[in-house]
């Protein structure tokens, strides 16, 4: 049995599957886990998989389906959620109030926003719960999330959509940057496969250096850019009229807006 007791995953696709992989590789007993997914596809040795909720009540139910599925799925799971069940939702956008309406009997509800690097214990998990970080259920959730990477509580639920854009979607934006770095090198004559390898290793090394350094990333950039040198010429392009900063802010703003739209759609669908 895990620290969270009997753990049910409602949906086990890309994101919940990544979380489960890390939990299992960090020692979670597969016998404590039940996955409910319409396809009934097997997940991992020892993990029970059902196409519909089986009899019983989990200690912790993780909602891992798409926000658009909430109205359809909630009535199927709600009868299995009681006052001793902690409900954890990774649904982008969907607010605590909507979840509480859909699962009125839940003992506690916590929103969690993970990202796919949790699969290797290098992810980010933002948390927001009904009772604040000190509520007993929230300590259980934080302990469950601990092996996944950086786990932090968010002070204000209104900011959860921004957390989702930055950390939840963030890996996709960085994967694009890795591709763009490689494609840029290839456009200037490098063999595409070599450019792709150099781009990935450069991003990996820079991220690890930044994570270990005491200096902030801006200072590390200055260390690379010799006065009058070539890096400075490249940075000038990224910095011209705040080009990169504006592009990234617009990217996060678009993703944040979409999270709010999905929240509204979930509110409407469950009203």
Ligand X SMILES: NC(=O)C1=CN([C@@H]2O[C@H](COP(=O)(O)OP(=O)(O)OC[C@H]3O[C@@H](n4cnc5c(N)ncnc54)[C@H](OP(=O)(O)O)[C@@H]3O)[C@@H](O)[C@H]2O)C=CC1
Instruction: Please report, as ranges, the residues that interact with ligand X according to CB under 6 A.
Output: 10-16, 36-39, 41, 64-67, 69, 72-73, 90-92, 113-116, 168
Choose from ligand A1CAB, ligand X, none: what does 6 bind? Cβ within 5-8 Å by kind.
Answer: none
Instruction: Provide the minimum distance between the beta carbon of 255 and ligand X in the complex, in angstroms, as a whole number.
Output: 11
* Closer by beta carbon to ligand X, 11 or else 182: 11
Instruction: Provide the minimum distance between the beta carbon of 40 and ligand A1CAB in the complex, in angstroms, as a whole number.
Output: 24
- Site mask for ligand A1CAB (CB under 6 A), range 80-99, x = bound: ------------x-------
Q: How far is Cα 209 from Cα 196, in angstroms, rounded to an integer?
A: 20
Could you give phi then psi for residue 61, rounded to 5 degrees?
-115, 120
* Closer by beta carbon to ligand X, 114 or else 129: 114
Q: Tokens in use for 160?
A: 């959860």
Q: Which residues pair with 126 in a beta bridge?
A: 113, 152
Instruction: Provide the minimum distance between the beta carbon of 43 and ligand X in the complex, in angstroms, as a whole number.
Output: 9
Beta strands (DSSP E) in 146-244 are: 149-153
Surface-to-core class of residue 7, CB atoms within 10 Å of its CB (0-12 exposed, 13-18 middle, 19+ buried): buried
How many residues make contact with ligand A1CAB (CB under 6 A)? Answer: 4
| DSSP secondary structure letter of residue 38 | T
Choose from ligand X, ligand A1CAB, none: what does 185 bind? Cβ within 5-8 Å by kind.
Answer: none
Residue in the structure block whose two tokens are 């080009």: 243
Beta strands (DSSP E) in the chain are: 7-10, 33-36, 48-50, 60-63, 86-89, 108-113, 123-129, 149-153
Among 151, 169, 196, 266, binds ligand A1CAB (CB under 6 A): 169
**Within its chain, how far is the Cα of 68 from the centroid?**
17
Choose from ligand X, ligand A1CAB, none: what does 117 bind? Cβ within 5-8 Å by kind.
Answer: none
Binding region for ligand A1CAB (CB under 6 A) out of 39-47, 95-103, 162-170, 242-250 = 162-170
5 near 57, Cβ under 8 Å? no
Footprint of ligand A1CAB on 11-70 (CB under 6 A): none
* Closer by beta carbon to ligand A1CAB, 92 or else 109: 92
- Site mask for ligand A1CAB (CB under 6 A), range 92-131, x = bound: x---------------------------------------
Choose from ligand A1CAB, ligand X, none: what does 64 bind? Cβ within 5-8 Å by kind.
Answer: ligand X
Q: How far is Cα 198 from Cα 1, in angstroms, rounded to an integer?
A: 44
Q: Is the dihedral of CA 164, 165, 166, 171 positive or negative?
A: positive
* Residue 185, helix vs strand vs coil: helix
Binding residues vs ligand A1CAB (CB under 6 A): 92, 164, 168-169
């Amino acid at each position: 049995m895990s620290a969270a007791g009997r753990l049910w995953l409602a949906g086990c696709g890309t994101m919940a599957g990544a979380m489960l992989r890390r939990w299992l590789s960090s020692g979670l007993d597969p016998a404590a886990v039940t996955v409910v997914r319409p396809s009934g596809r097997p997940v991992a040795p020892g993990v029970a998989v059902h196409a519909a909720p089986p009899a019983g009540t989990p200690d912790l139910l993780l909602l891992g389906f798409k926000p658009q599925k909430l109205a359809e799925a909630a009535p199927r799971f709600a009868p299995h959620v009681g006052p001793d069940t902690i409900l954890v939702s990774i649904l982008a956008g969907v607010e605590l109030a909507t979840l509480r309406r859909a699962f009125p009997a839940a003992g506690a509800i916590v929103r969690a926003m993970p990202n796919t690097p949790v699969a290797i214990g290098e992810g980010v998990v933002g948390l927001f719960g009904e009772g604040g970080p000190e509520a007993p259920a929230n300590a259980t959730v934080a302990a469950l999330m601990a092996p996944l990477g950086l786990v932090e509580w968010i002070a204000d639920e209104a900011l959860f959509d921004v957390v989702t854009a930055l950390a939840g979607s963030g890996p996709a934006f960085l994967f694009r940057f890795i591709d763009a770095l490689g494609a840029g090198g290839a456009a200037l004559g490098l063999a595409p496969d070599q450019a792709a390898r150099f781009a990935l290793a450069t991003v990996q090394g820079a991220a690890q250096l930044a994570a270990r350094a005491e200096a902030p990333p801006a200072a590390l950039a200055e260390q690379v850019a010799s006065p009058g040198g070539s890096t400075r010429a490249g940075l000038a392009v990224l910095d011209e009229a705040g080009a990169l900063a504006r592009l990234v802010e617009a990217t996060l703003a678009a993703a944040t807006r979409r999270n709010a739209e999905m929240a509204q759609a979930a509110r409407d669908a469950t009203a």
